[in-house]
Structure 1
Amino acid sequence: MSDSSSLHVVVLAGGISHERDVSLRSGRRVADALAAAGHQVVLRDPDAGLLPFLVNERPDVVFPALHGSSGEDGSLLGLLDALGIPTVGSGAAAARRAWSKPIASSLIAASGAAVPQSIVLSHESFRELGASGVLRVVREALQGDLVVKPATGGSAQGVSIVTDSNDLPRAMVDAFTYADVVVVERRIVGTEIAVGIIDTGDGPVALTPVEIDPTAGIYSFQARYNAGETTFYAPSRLDASAVETVAAAAIHAHATLGLRDLSRVDFIVDAAGVPWFLEANVLPGLTETSLVPLAIDAFGTDAATVYSGLVQAALARSERKARS
């Protein structure tokens, strides 16, 4: 094992999900930050050679920077745990809970937090029950504007805001392109806020909440990853009370879902200051335009310090487990 001040870290990036390009960008940024902190870093794609490589190399820590099913559905995380390799981030079970937006929302709602009213539809039920009949029930049950999104996945891929009910069928088709289950939820009007959570061993800490103000009015895939298409406010323009409330709500969601080390929790804060839970990300984007790095800077620290703290915490957790 390497000296604790300089660890051998494998950063995983790429994969075969729809978010491969974003993951590669995240991975490069993480690798650069860890190298700047003095660690020995290898950047790897999760391909057929990965598991034999890890068995042979036995790195001190693995840092997944994978988005989409490649890293967030719990499959790879479970294998890394089975190999006994210290890994930054949530465990497999927690990742599965957060990966499914309906499951995450159900758990958060059961904890007493505000979650938008929604209807969850599988592609199979949509076909068997008839699209027109299903959509008629949806329109009657969910009044006002709607948000249609895949039940899994990230980066706003397949997400539509529906202000005209005639556009609902198209939105369903778009969402089903990315997942076999779709969530249709009542749109909450307010301020979109993302809260990064970091835990390097002393308990979860909410980073500076980031306010998202996309130029086109929708925080789409393009608005997330193309510079200049979104204005970010860190700190946000919310009043101090609302900031405190949304930060506490993010820590609550992180704990309720059993997340670990690093997450990002997304909310809409309405006019009354109520934070409505949208989703939690166990492996949030860490690119040059992503929200967590922006929040890290606004919090008064830097990526090298934070990511190094996360790998140190993952190693310490593994050593404690080995001693128990």
Structure 2
Amino acid sequence: MKIAVLYGGTSGEREVSLSTGKGIIKALENKGHDVTAIDFSPEKLVEILELDVDLVFIGLHGKFGEDGKIQGLLDMLGIPYVGSGVLASALAMDKAKSKQIFSLNGLYTAQSEVYDVADSRQVDRVEEEIKKSFDLPFVIKPNQEGSTLGLTIVKEKEEIRQGIEKAAKSDSMILVEDYVQGKEVTVPVMGYKGKEQALPVIEIIPKNDYYDFDSKYKPGGSEHIVPAKVDVQLTAQLQQDAVLAHQLLGCDVYSRVDFIINEKQEPMILEVNTLPGMTPTSLFPDSAQEIGLSYDDLIQKFVELSHKD
């Protein structure tokens, strides 16, 4: 097939996307596809408008890639692509909206509140509201951003202001939520719509205090245990919840669902990643490996799942 791979992009996750893109390109070439590689930028949309390919494989992360915008453009051009469509992408990227959907459908989520910080003059008021509404420790992060960029775990009240300002650099809306102590796990999901299956659960042991950017992407930044050391019943619950979350948002082909298992051994959903990392150190390929699916075979499987006819 003639496949264009969009990677790079302009978000804070550009470096990760460059690595993801290289992996996808190599895998597709190994499988015999004719690959066009595009380091995507909104300023160079003509490259997309002039595409003559059978399929687009989106290897972008963050804004203008994972949020439904590029998907909308490809829809208008009538070019099929791998992964979730406009609405599912936008919902998954909007943490507050997706948490509402999860909560309404019986999935456990941390108590949270969203605040508009577009007007810097409102920061004082927002800071006071957060102080009244949340007990330490809690998390402040951009409502729409990935890879834990702009995230602060607030342990002292003096850190609130700084946390707001840091998150506000990435988004005009910030999300504040209770900090949940526990085991971090993630569950890859893949399959045709309505027939999705969860892959083995992965336990993440970060070298830092939490699973931050360095833990995710630097070699040796975290340890991945596949399958996770959780009992059979909890494993089944995590996999069931992951597939449900994927379906509730209307995701397509693949996603990765992040959880924290709290002290009561309850899986609390954090978010759904519609374009999870596909770098050499990424979680999804690690899980696929456990069921005998090599990196190249995994990428090929996504291509096959993208055929809607």
Distance 1:279 1:37 in 2: 32
Distance 1:222 1:40 in 2: 34
Is contact 2:54–2:80 with CA below 8 Å preserved after alignment? yes
% identical equivalent positions: 32
Distance 1:185 1:54 in 2: 38
Distance 1:49 1:173 in 2: 28
Distance 2:47 2:132 in 1: 54
Counting matched residue pairs gives 309
Is contact 1:200–1:310 with CA below 8 Å preserved after alignment? no
Mark the runs of 5 or more structure 2 residues left unpaired by the alignment: none
Alignment of 1:219-234 (within 5 A): 219-234=211-226
Distance 1:53 1:182 in 2: 33
TM-score (norm 1): 0.90
Is contact 1:212–1:230 with CA below 8 Å preserved after alignment? yes
- What is the match of residue 186 of structure 2? 194
Alignment of 1:65-80 (within 5 A): 65-80=59-74
Alignment of 1:200-219 (within 5 A): 200=192, 203-219=195-211
Is contact 2:255–2:275 with CA below 8 Å preserved after alignment? yes
Is contact 2:194–2:247 with CA below 8 Å preserved after alignment? no
Q: Which portions of structure 1, spanning 4 or more consecutive aligned residues, are displaced by more than 6 angstroms? A: none
The structural deviation recorded for 1:160 is 1.2
TM-score (norm 2): 0.94
Residue deviations 1:54-106 (CA, integer Å, cap 9, x gap)? 55442111000000112111111011011111100000111111111111111
Matched, 1:239 2:250: no
The structural deviation recorded for 1:25 is 0.5
- What is the match of residue 307 of structure 1? 299
Distance 1:242 1:48 in 2: 43
Determine helix, strand or coil for the equivalent of 1:71: coil
Is contact 1:126–1:134 with CA below 8 Å preserved after alignment? no
RMSD value, Cα: 1.8
Determine helix, strand or coil for the equivalent of 1:69: coil
Alignment of 1:152-163 (within 5 A): 152-163=144-155
Is contact 1:73–1:92 with CA below 8 Å preserved after alignment? yes
Which AA in structure 2 matches 1:31?
A: I
Matched, 1:87 2:73: no
- What is the match of residue 27 of structure 2? 33
**For 1:111, which of 102, 105, 121 is the aligned residue?**
105
Distance 2:143 2:186 in 1: 19
